[in-house]
Structure 1
Amino acid sequence: MKNSILILTIIFCGIIGKAQSIEKIVLDENDDLSGYYLAVKPQTEKIDAVLVLLPGFGQNAESIFPETKLHNVGYLNNILTIGFASGTKLYADKETQVKISIVLKDVLDRYEIENTKFVIGGFSAGGTVALRYAELCKQYPDKFPISPKGVFVVDSPIDIFKFYELLEENIENKYSQIAVQEAEWVTNLIKEDHGIPKDNIDYYKEINPFSMKKKYGENEKWLKDMAVRTYHDVDIEWRLVQRNQPVSTQSYLVTSELINRLLLMGNQKAEFMQSYKTGYRSNGTRHPHSWSIVDEVECIQWVKKIVE
């Protein structure tokens, strides 16, 4: 049944491709990265839900749609899809929170949608931002424009403290030149922002969505009643062969702990979405760190279910 739905969706997406449009809505002409958002309206005037998607670090909003068909499937299911780039941030700091809120306020006014009809998700660092923003909406409901019904992350490093430690290990171990270069660049970025996380705990615990070590914060408590998903292509062999990275370095080690804690809290809507060898970039390159690990048809059905 699922395969039949997927085939039909792909056929319909091909048929509607030319008719379906992506509207660019500019809110700040002086900000080329975060001063606008992209909107894909559904095929009918009715909007049942809003799906907000955030790309990876430093990527623009346009980078989302070639990598996933979520907006295509949403188009067929009365879902408004919003693409927004929150900027060159690895976490939802105050500046990033303000940028997202400005966009969401405009969406609420422009499309006249209830603030409870939202699901927010993101890829890589975008997922880290989305997760903390969703928590903040519950933590400070009077200060944020929406009350999301769900949030999902796509292979995201959701614990900045653990993430920084792993980056340092990559640099020290020197298993892979690519991994070392990436780690050196990201650690410098973090240090230049607000210093090493463990040396500035009070700051980072406020913007960090989840901490393996509870002394660094327990912000996951704000997700107790929310639908939460973490998506991962658990291809251990690829990581070993291509990056010399063992399981201990992978983001799903942390997200599985998040889901487990939520389940222990009684959240039966917390799910670890595991796939295998589903990650491919739009250019055909095999990579487990990709939007494609999300089953678009199944995800949109999940969105519809949780906003009902």
Structure 2
Amino acid sequence: MLKNTLIIFLLCLLISSLVKSQEIKTIKGDHFELKLAPQQKAILILFPCYPCNIEHTQTEAKFLKDIEKKGISTLLLDYNQKLYLTEAKKKEYTEELHTIFTENNIKKENIFIGGFSSGGNVAILLSSYLIKTENSIQPKGILVVDSPIDLEELYKGAKSDVQKNKDAEAVAEGKFLIDLLEKEIGTPQKDIEKYKIFSPYLISSNSTDHIKYLKNSKVRLYCEPDLEWQLKNKKRQYKDLNAYKLEKAYHSLLDMGSQNVEFIKTKNRGIRANGQKHPHSWNIVERESLIQWILQPS
């Protein structure tokens, strides 16, 4: 009888241990939320859009649901309101990542860094810095979702939106961007070298100072150039869109010899969590394709 009781007790301990080993561990910090996969095969680090936060990313990026069960840990960051990064910010974010990785015993393997809108700019610039400085944190892949990677073109587009006066939201955003860029960088006419330094990519001079470091990494550039929607709602043509700039950067990476860069133009996926149709959306990232891309051996 005692022997049977002991066996049952040991089996209960074993089952309890197995259940715990399959649990997703969530850790929250001042500027991050980390979800550790039970058996980590990769880690996905994501930056939010300019006015956004972790909660926004969780709500809008539907591909994140239960992605940890596929072996992909997620690190969602709260660092926002950045169209570019200074050298000081690159160092600060790098140190923060090291702290998170060290304190939570995260493997520095199969690291993917991405972002939506301005968060994609941050992802490119930080990834380039990590690769350039041969940091111990090395991105295997970079995920860019409809990002305004050319700040000169962003400035020109803001001016155009204000002048066209087609959409109140676009006009307000345009005025905000003009004021922000002029205060922080200047105007492209007078300060083009600063735009070259801070932009992930610059079409006017085919500046590849940042993206050249990504040529040996896996890169996905997502966009949904819904021209019918853009013309009707914003009075924009293809050249006005983030998609056009991303396509230019894609071809520049190909010209540099990149074998793992993808330019992904989606259709009818731009639906936000509230049901609103909008091509500038986290939802253009397709879940199963993303998981396969992250987990496939390179």
261-270 vs 291-300, which deviates more? 261-270
Alignment-derived partner of residue 40 in structure 1: 35
User: What is the total number of aligned residue pairs between the two structures?
Assistant: 276
Alignment-derived partner of residue 105 in structure 2: 112
Q: Any unmatched runs of 5+ in structure 1?
A: 1-18, 27-35
Alignment-derived partner of residue 266 in structure 1: 257
- Contact 1:224/1:262 (<8 A) preserved: yes
Deviation of the 1:146 alpha carbon: 1.4
Among 156, 180, 205, the alignment partner of 1:165 is 156
- Contact 2:225/2:241 (<8 A) preserved: no
Give me the identity figure in percent: 28
> What TM-score, normalized to structure 2?
0.86
Deviation of the 1:49 alpha carbon: 1.1
1:214 match: secondary structure: coil
Alignment-derived partner of residue 28 in structure 2: 24
266-275 vs 190-199, which deviates more? 190-199
Deviation of the 1:203 alpha carbon: 3.2
Alignment-derived partner of residue 222 in structure 1: 213
Q: Does 1:122 align with 2:115?
A: yes
1:260 match: secondary structure: helix
Alignment-derived partner of residue 70 in structure 2: 77
- Contact 2:270/2:283 (<8 A) preserved: yes
- Contact 1:175/1:245 (<8 A) preserved: no
For residues 205-253 of structure 1, what are the alpha-carbon distances to aligned partners after superposition, in whole Å with 9 as ceiling and x for unaligned? 2332111122655322111111111111121101111111111210110
Q: Does 1:148 align with 2:139?
A: yes
1:38 match: secondary structure: strand
Quote the Cα distance in structure 2 between the aligned partners of 1:69 and 1:103.
26
2:74 match: secondary structure: strand
2:58 match: secondary structure: coil
For residues 135-177 of structure 1, what are the alpha-carbon distances to aligned partners after superposition, in whole Å with 9 as ceiling and x for unaligned? 1112222xx4511011011110011112112212222233333
Deviation of the 1:264 alpha carbon: 2.0
- Contact 1:121/1:153 (<8 A) preserved: yes
Deviation of the 1:198 alpha carbon: 4.3
Deviation of the 1:70 alpha carbon: 3.2
Larger Rg: 2
> What TM-score, normalized to structure 1?
0.83
1:225 match: secondary structure: coil
- Contact 1:73/1:300 (<8 A) preserved: no
Letter in 2 for 1:38: E
Quote the Cα distance in structure 2 between the aligned partners of 1:65 and 1:208.
27
Quote the Cα distance in structure 2 between the aligned partners of 1:231 and 1:220.
16
